[in-house]
Every structure is written in C-alpha cells, then in structure tokens.
A = this chain, B = another copy of it.
Amino acid sequence: MARRSEHSLEEIRTMVLNAAEAIVINEGYSALTVRRIAREIGYTVGSIYMVFNNMADLVMHIKARTLDDIAVQLQQVQDCAPGQCIAELARIYLSYASHNFNQWNMVFVQDAEIPEWYQEKVDHVFSRVEAQFAKLAPQCSAQQSKQAARVLWSGVHGICILSLLGKRDVAGIKDVENDILLLVECFIGGWVGSLLSGKEQ
C-alpha cells in the first residue's frame, strides 16, 4: 500500500503512544505487543520502528507519561501542616495507583538501563514530599530531609505494591489506606522524636 505522508512522523508517534497506553489501561502490560499497536493504528509493524528505537524505548515513554500524571496529581495537594500534607500526598499516591493500576504497576518493571531524563521524572515525584520534610524540621540538613522523604516514600510504595497486587476492591483499598496512614504517622512521629532527643548524628 505504502500510503504517503498521510500523517507526519510526529503524528504517528503520538498515535502509537496513545494506542499503546490504551491497551495497557484496558488489558494490562502483558497485552502490549508491536503487532497489536500496529493493527490498532492501521499501520504495519515496521512503521513503529520509524518512531521508536524498540519496544523498550516505547515502554519507557509510556511510563514517562504515567510519572508525569502522578506528579500532576501530587502537585494539586494543598499546602498545609507538613505532617498532614505528607499524609495527603500518600493518600493521593495510593488513589492514583489503585485507580490506574495497570499504568502504575508498569512503571516499576525494571529496565536494563534508565536514561537520565527518565530518572529526573522519578525524582520529581519525590520532590513534593522532600519539601514537606524540610518544613517539618528546618534545623536539619537537606541531605537528612531528602533521606527521610525517600525512605518514607519507598515505604508507602512498598505497601502499595504488596497490597494492591492482592485485594483491589473498595474495602481492600480502605485497609491499605489505613496501613499507609499508620506508616506515615509513626514514621514522622519517630523521626521528629529522634531529632528532638538528639539521637541523630
């Protein structure tokens, strides 16, 4: 057939990305294949390699979209008392993960190598939490509040991972939310406490 210039390369790239994302949303990561995407956009497999290096490259760009989505969601949390703010950020994160499970879950399938622009997006998700830890204890170093943010957020993420792979019904999500709030409250309580009693180096 060889249709000429019906779409620009940029347009095809977007069509591929949109189709791929839709497949992931509706049927999960395992349903995503080049042939399937090609069929969906009305091109053949070869065309997809005009706009992405390979499957891994394409997948990385879908994941990037998801990270951007998450960052936008977290950005919308109102600024208030740091402890409450962090709890709210955690709630939003869980909410995103449970409502967009297939996309969220895909973000954490590891890749051979992570490009820098992608790592920056991951870091950006953390930035909001870091800022709150800095507010929580202005006396401590940036390094300490960064560590606290990374540690707590990894913990929140761990609960999401282990819990959402099982029960994903409404009652289940409520349990997960309780777990996350327990982690957030205890961690912050313990962290602030250890700073006050001077246990930190």
Residues of chain A touching chain B, judged by Cβ–Cβ distance below 8 Å, are 105, 108, 110, 114, 147-148, 150-152, 154-159, 161-163, 165-166, 178-179, 182-183, 185-191, 193-194
Can you offer 17 A-B residue contacts whose CB atoms are under 8 A? A147-B178, A151-B159, A151-B182, A154-B159, A154-B162, A154-B179, A155-B155, A155-B158, A155-B159, A157-B162, A158-B159, A158-B161, A161-B161, A186-B189, A187-B187, A189-B189, A190-B193
Alpha-carbon gap, A168 to B175, bound state (A): 33
Chain B residues closer than 8 Å to A194, beta-carbon distance: 185-186, 189
Q: Which of A110, A155, A179 is packed against the most chain B CB atoms within 10 Å?
A: A155
Chain B residues closer than 8 Å to A110, beta-carbon distance: 105, 165
- Asked if B147 and A179 make an inter-chain contact with CB atoms under 8 angstroms apart, the answer reads yes
- Asked if B147 and A182 make an inter-chain contact with CB atoms under 8 angstroms apart, the answer reads yes
Chain B residues closer than 8 Å to A179, beta-carbon distance: 147, 150-151, 154
Looking at the assembled complex, report how far the CB atom of A152 sits from the nearest CB atom of chain B, in whole angstroms: 8
Alpha-carbon gap, A108 to B110, bound state (A): 12
The 6 closest A-B pairs by CB, nearest first: A158-B158, A155-B155, A189-B190, A186-B190, A190-B190, A154-B159
Chain B residues closer than 8 Å to A188, beta-carbon distance: 186, 190
Chain B residues closer than 8 Å to A152, beta-carbon distance: 183
Partner of A183, one of B108, B114, B187, B193: B187
Alpha-carbon gap, A162 to B189, bound state (A): 23
Partner of A158, one of B156, B166, B191: B156
Alpha-carbon gap, A189 to B183, bound state (A): 11
Looking at the assembled complex, report how far the CB atom of A162 sits from the nearest CB atom of chain B, in whole angstroms: 5
Looking at the assembled complex, report how far the CB atom of A141 sits from the nearest CB atom of chain B, in whole angstroms: 14
Alpha-carbon gap, A150 to B114, bound state (A): 30
Alpha-carbon gap, A162 to B162, bound state (A): 13
Looking at the assembled complex, report how far the CB atom of A196 sits from the nearest CB atom of chain B, in whole angstroms: 11
- Asked if A186 and B185 make an inter-chain contact with CB atoms under 8 angstroms apart, the answer reads no
